[in-house]
């Protein structure tokens, strides 16, 4: 059966999902971007992975439009005037979102919704504003049917932020993903606690280390897709990844890996990125004719390439011949120290590479701890995470995370699953988040063990929707399929649960 | 060097006082409550060795001094040793110095509001607690004592000076019920209730409600509510047979207290002035 026919006959795909898959298939019929033989060999080995990004990138992977500009001057191409009230504001956004491309075909950044909407919300009475926002969120969930759709709030407490939290709890939707930018001086404990409560019940918002991101990106940064730091008015061209475990398989020793194998794969991935970035900028029409560019909602110089890694834990364990992962990376000082050496080496080599374009970042790519994909199985844990199933105590897990999160301006994060008693004690969760962010954690996510909406590796799915797929029914959210794969292959929902009665080892 | 018997340390706890706290459980308790959920913390190990052969991973052995030695590296935490112990003790107790405990507290310090000491009965280690609390406070963290009220806080006020509050169990007020339930008349507990209240160091009071013991439950709740008013939380706790020694389960019943029944006592407490009474 042809690949096209498989898609056309698949009973679990919605019409839109079929369309997206058929488009991917069409894209794959061209091979005008050619890479070196060494690149293809490394990819075949599984040491490099292109995340099925498609062979002919016809738009940047992630696009973060400047929605403030949209509200300021409207959009000529879409014939939208600047909004004058709340109803117009959400209508402008709903229309605009449908025209923001991405790797998923859905917009991965919806804007800083509290800041954008607050002036309009404050002019309405609370109940009316809440109703409008409810319909707005429903529109997003049913139209932008993909869990990589992401909105941001904070750091300040706002009425809009509060209403969005209330609605997020009441509506229990997987879309959109949500982040609180947390700043200890600007985010009140009261607002942060409201976010914790909402996070426990619905797996969102996550907490982003605002100060860390501002230092790297300036004030105008977005958290998009899973947990990706990018510039507002810019985005990410491409995101391939080193699968570090596979990269380590031919190394004769730690030194051989650091001196020969790792640099070889880094360079091959850089070659791949350079070619794709040049193609997107020079060959595809996006940066020449798309209204987002011509009207200034994004600027090409604000895009960068995202250099992804996965499987640091398994790489370190393999190089140190640690067979029992319970005694490996995360629980073993030598393995963790090797992880730091490896990350230092990656950071150094990538920062020495002069990238095409990426003007706003001194022509450099930025590192990304990729969250894994459903086909990774148990070979490569997400980014630099400790493998699922062998996590130590939460304290130790945070300590390890804090060492690795600073390497990744374009995103990393870890997820903590809490037992039910934490619902009654959100004030016991907040100090953990505050302490870890102060100690260098970049991004904290959590949820309660019995939720329907859960965070798989970085994105949200509903367990009930996974069940639908298992029964060969369609799920509106195209990410549910990844969630099922990650659950089956990577046991991604079986992470350690933070209980109150766990002792130090 | 001063050492104290530590049963275990929980770096992050959300049930031992407000916020996120490191909980330190000391071994040994002067009471022998029928409903104790951690009976292995009551007595010190006598070195009888009954657990040694039963350990499935050989983490226990008799040392040259006739004591049971525990290898925490081999231990898988299956709890077989405490289940077979004939003396309500545990071989997994470490005699730790203040500095050793502080090493663990310092690691957790960025993420916690403070430390809670519990047990067993932690006030049996009061010199140790005083030294420990001085160190904890120097980190800007709070210190809470979880106590059964057996220690005379008034007679030796040094501990209260360095602690931020006491979480007190008032298990029984009626003398004969107290003698049955906790093994003594409980008079010292009630004196401590008054003293801690007066000293402004009462963090919370807790009472366990038993199924079908209307008179005893009511006497206790009335007494506590009438004394504490709004001064602190009053936690009404449902009796649960899980973890209770079998021979005492037979005495107390194998049923969990119905939460609606417990809720009635919380309402009673609030009516009597304990505005911060609730079922947990």
* 3-state secondary structure (DSSP) of residue B277: strand
The number of beta carbons lying within 10 Å of the beta carbon of residue B155 is 9
Residue A125 and residue A176 in one domain:
yes
Lowest mean pLDDT among A4-13, A475-484, A485-494, B22-31: A485-494
- Among the listed residues B271, B267, B91, the one whose alpha carbon sits nearest the alpha carbon of residue B279: B267
Q: Which of A227, A247, A267 is the last residue of a domain?
A: A227
Residue of A nearest to B71 (CA): A505
Instruction: Tell me the CATH number of domain B45-91, given options 3.40.50.1000, 3.40.630.10, 3.40.920.10, 3.30.70.20.
Output: 3.30.70.20
DSSP for B121-137 reads: -GGGGHHHHHHHHHHHH
Taken in order A71, A76, A77, A78, is the CA torsion positive or negative?
positive
Task: Quickly count helices (H) and strands (E) in chain B.
Answer: 9, 11
CATH classification of the domain holding A43? 3.20.70.20
Mean pLDDT calculated for residue range A3-29: 94
Confidence of residue A107 (pLDDT cuts 50, 70, 90): very high
Are A391 and A245 contained in the same domain? yes
Judge whether A257 lies within some domain: yes
Looking at residue B232, the DSSP 8-state letter turns out to be S
**CB hemisphere CA count around A458 (13 angstroms):** 24
pLDDT computed for residue A502 by the predictor: 60
Regarding whether A280 and A175 lie in a shared domain, the answer is: no
Tell me, what DSSP letter sits at residue B234?
E
**Bridge partner list, B206:** B169, B235
Strands (E), A380-463: 414-418, 443-448, 453-455, 460-462
Phi and psi torsions of A460, nearest 5°: -105, 140
Are residues A218 and A96 part of one domain?
Answer: yes
CATH 3.30.70.20 domain span(s) along chain B = 45-91
Please answer whether residues A505 and A43 qualify as being in contact, where contact means their C-beta atoms are separated by less than 8 angstroms: no
pTM beyond 0.90, yes or no: yes
Kindly provide the ipTM of the predicted complex, given to two decimals.
0.92
Residue A420 is given by DSSP the state G
Confidence of residue A112 (pLDDT cuts 50, 70, 90): very high
- For residue A157, is it within any domain? yes
Query: Which residues of A are less than 8 Å from B15 in CB distance?
Result: 421, 425, 500
Tell me the average pLDDT across A477-499.
85
- A176 in a structural domain: yes
Please report the pLDDT score of residue A491 as a whole number: 83
Minimal C-alpha gap between A447 and chain B (Å)? 16
Give the mean pLDDT of A103-114: 97
Give A-chain residues touching B12 at CB under 8 angstroms: 393-395, 428, 432, 498, 500, 502
Name the pLDDT band for A494 (thresholds 50, 70, 90): confident
Q: What gap in Å lies between CA A211 and CA A199, rounded to an integer? A: 21
Do A427 and B19 count as a contact with CB atoms less than 8 A apart? yes
How high is the pLDDT of residue A501? 60
Mean pLDDT for A151-180 is: 97
% residues pLDDT > 90 (chain A): 89
Q: Quote the pLDDT of residue A75.
A: 98
Quote the number of domains for chain A. Answer: 3
Handedness of CA A315, A317, A323, A329 (dihedral sign): negative
The closest CB to that of A431, out of B11, B20, B104, belongs to B20
Tens of pLDDT, residues B205-225: 999 999 989 999 999 999 999
- Enclosing domain of residue A8: 1-30
Q: Which fold has domain B3-41+94-279?
A: TIM Barrel (3.20.20)
Average pLDDT across chain B, whole number: 95
- The one-character DSSP state at B7 is E
Residue A505: what pLDDT? Answer: 40
From B9, B18, B111, residue closest to A504, measured CB to CB: B9
A160 touches chain B (CB under 8 A): no
Q: Rounded CA gap, B144 and B159, in Å?
A: 11
Q: Kind of pairing, strands A443-448 and A206-209? A: antiparallel
User: A391: distance to nearest CA of chain B, Å?
Assistant: 15
Given strand A366-369, what is the order of strands in its sheet? A48-49, A241-243, A306-310, A366-369
Contact A428, A174 (CB under 8 A): no
- Of A439, A381, A441, A437, the closest CA to residue A407 belongs to A441
Residues A170 and A240 in one domain: no
Q: Which burial class, exposed, middle or buried, applies to A160 when counting CB atoms under 10 A from its CB (0-12, 13-18, 19+)?
A: buried
Q: By the 8 A CB rule, do A116 and A67 touch?
A: yes
Give the nearest chain A residue to B9 (CA atoms): A503
Residue A224: strand pairing partners = A228
Q: Which residues of A touch B20 (CB under 8 A)?
A: 428-429, 431-432
Q: Name the β-bridge partners of A182.
A: A209
pLDDT digit string (tens) for B113-140?
999 999 999 999 999 999 999 999 999 9
Which residues, other chains included, contact B196 with Cβ-Cβ below 8 Å and sequence gap of 6+? B153, B160, B166, B168, B202
Are A7 and A75 in the same domain? no
CA angle A381, A383, A384 (to 5 degrees): 85
Nearest CA in chain B to A502: B10
Residues A246 and A395 placed together within one structural domain of the fold: yes
Residue A419: inside a domain: no
What's phi and psi for B70, nearest 5 deg?
Answer: -115, 130
Decide if A229 contacts A221 (C-beta within 8 A). yes
Q: Is residue A147 part of a domain?
A: yes
A191-205, A217-231, B74-88 — which is least confidently predicted?
B74-88
Q: What is the pLDDT of residues A396-447, one digit of tens each?
A: 999 999 999 999 999 999 999 999 999 999 999 999 999 999 999 999 999 9
SS3 state at A74 = coil
CA nearest neighbour of A394 among A405, A402, A383 = A402
From chain B, the residues in CB contact with A421 under 8 A are 14-15
CA distance B27 to chain A (A): 15
Position A32 scores a pLDDT of 87
Supply the DSSP symbol for B185: -
CB-count exposure of residue B50 (10 Å: 0-12, 13-18, 19+): middle
Rounded to whole angstroms, the Cα distance separating B24 from B118 reads: 6
Q: Do B111 and A425 touch (CB under 8 A)?
A: no
Residues on chain B touching A425 (C-beta within 8 angstroms): 14-15, 19
Question: Å from B185 to nearest chain A CA?
Answer: 31
Spatial contact of B119 and B27, defined as CB atoms under 8 Å apart: yes
Residue at A255 is within a domain: yes
Instruction: Give tens-digit pLDDT for A59-86.
Output: 999 999 999 999 999 999 999 999 999 9
Domain boundary among A412, A434, A464: A412
Same domain, A273 and A371: yes
Which domain-ending residue is among A349, A380, A412?
Answer: A412
Which residues in chain B have their CB less than 8 angstroms from residue A398's CB? 111
Closest to A388 in 3D by CA, of A295, A465, A310, A496 = A496
Q: Give the percent of chain A with pLDDT over 70.
A: 99
Q: What are phi and psi of A311, to 5 degrees?
A: 75, 30
* Residue, of A458 and A319, whose pLDDT is higher: A319
Does residue A24 belong to any structural domain of this protein? yes
Task: Provide the shortest C-alpha distance from residue B229 to chain A (in Å).
Answer: 23
A451 falls within a domain = no
| pLDDT of A490 | 80
A393–B107: do the CB atoms touch at under 8 Å?
no
């Amino acid at each position: 059966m042809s690949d096209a026919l498989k898609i056309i006959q698949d009973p679990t795909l919605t019409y839109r999902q079929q369309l997206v898959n058929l488009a991917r298939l069409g894209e794959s019929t061209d091979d005008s971007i050619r890479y070196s033989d060494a690149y293809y060999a490394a990819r075949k080995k599984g040491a490099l992975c292109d995340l099925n990004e498609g062979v002919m990138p016809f738009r940047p992977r992630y696009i973060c439009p400047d929605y403030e500009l949209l509200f300021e001057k409207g959009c000529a191409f879409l014939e939208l005037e600047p909004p004058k009230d709340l109803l117009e504001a959400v209508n402008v956004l709903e229309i605009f979102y449908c025209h923001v491309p991405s790797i998923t075909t859905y917009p991965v950044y919806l804007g800083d919704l509290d800041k954008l909407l607050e002036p309009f919300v404050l002019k309405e009475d609370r109940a009316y504003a809440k109703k409008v926002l409810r319909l707005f969120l429903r529109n997003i969930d049913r139209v932008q049917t993909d869990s990589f759709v992401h909105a941001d709030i904070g750091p300040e407490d706002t009425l809009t932020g509060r209403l969005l939290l209330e609605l997020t709890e009441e509506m229990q939707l997987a879309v959109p993903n949500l982040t609180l930018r947390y700043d200890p001086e600007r985010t009140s404990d009261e607002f942060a606690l409201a976010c914790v409560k909402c996070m426990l019940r619905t797996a969102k918002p996550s907490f982003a280390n605002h100060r860390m991101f501002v230092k790297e990106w300036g004030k105008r940064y977005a958290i998009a897709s899973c947990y990706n730091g990018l510039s507002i008015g810019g985005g990410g061209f491409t995101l391939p990844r080193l699968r570090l475990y596979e990269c380590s398989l031919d190394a004769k020793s730690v030194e051989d890996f650091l001196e020969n194998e790792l640099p070889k794969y880094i360079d091959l991935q850089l070659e791949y990125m350079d070619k794709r970035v040049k193609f997107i900028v020079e060959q595809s029409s996006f940066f020449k004719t798309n209204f987002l560019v011509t009207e200034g909602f994004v600027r090409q110089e604000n895009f960068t390439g995202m250099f992804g890694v996965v499987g640091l834990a398994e790489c370190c364990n393999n190089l140190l011949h640690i067979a029992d992962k319970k005694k490996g990376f995360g629980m073993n000082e030598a393995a963790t120290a090797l992880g730091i050496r490896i990350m230092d080496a990656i950071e150094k080599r990538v920062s020495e590479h002069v990238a095409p374009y990426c003007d706003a970042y001194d022509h450099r790519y930025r590192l990304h701890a990729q969250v894994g994909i459903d086909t990774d199985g148990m070979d490569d844990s997400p980014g630099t995470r400790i493998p699922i199933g062998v996590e130590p105590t939460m304290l130790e897990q945070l300590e390890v995370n804090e060492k690795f999160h600073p390497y990744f301006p374009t995103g990393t994060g870890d997820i903590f699953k809490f037992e039910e008693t934490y619902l009654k004690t959100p004030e016991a969760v907040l100090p953990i988040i505050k302490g870890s962010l102060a100690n260098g954690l970049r991004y904290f996510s959590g949820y309660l063990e019995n939720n329907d909406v859960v965070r798989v590796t970085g994105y949200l799915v509903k367990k009930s929707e996974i069940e639908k797929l298992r029964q060969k029914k369609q799920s509106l959210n195209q990410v549910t399929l990844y969630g099922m794969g990650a659950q089956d292959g990577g046991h991604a929902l079986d992470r350690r649960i933070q209980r109150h009665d766990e002792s130090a080892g | 060097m001063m050492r104290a018997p530590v049963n275990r340390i929980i770096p992050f706890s959300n049930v031992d006082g407000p916020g996120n706290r490191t909980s330190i459980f000391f071994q040994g308790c002067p009471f022998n409550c029928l409903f104790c959920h951690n009976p292995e913390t009551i007595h010190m190990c006598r070195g009888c060795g009954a657990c040694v052969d039963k350990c499935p991973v050989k983490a226990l052995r008799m040392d040259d001094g006739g004591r049971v030695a525990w290898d925490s590296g081999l231990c898988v935490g299956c709890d077989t040793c405490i289940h077979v112990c004939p003396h309500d003790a545990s071989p997994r107790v470490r005699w730790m110095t203040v500095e050793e405990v502080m090493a663990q507290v310092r690691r957790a310090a960025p993420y916690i509001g403070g430390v809670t000491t519990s047990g067993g009965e932690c006030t049996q280690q009061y010199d140790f607690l005083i030294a420990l609390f001085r160190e904890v406070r120097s980190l800007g963290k709070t210190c809470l004592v979880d106590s059964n009220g057996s220690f005379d806080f008034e007679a030796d006020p040094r501990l209260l000076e360095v602690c931020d509050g006491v979480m007190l169990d008032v298990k029984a007020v009626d003398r004969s019920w107290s003698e049955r339930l906790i093994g003594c008349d409980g008079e010292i507990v009630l004196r401590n209730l008054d003293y801690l209240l007066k000293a402004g160091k009462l963090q919370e009071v807790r009472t366990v409600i038993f199924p079908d013991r209307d008179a005893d439950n009511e006497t206790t709740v009335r007494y506590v509510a009438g004394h504490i008013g709004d001064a602190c939380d009053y936690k009404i706790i449902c009796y649960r047979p899980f973890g209770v020694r079998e021979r005492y389960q037979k005495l107390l019943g194998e049923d969990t207290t119905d939460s609606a029944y417990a809720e009635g006592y919380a309402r009673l407490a609030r009516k009597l002035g304990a505005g911060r009474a609730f079922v947990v």
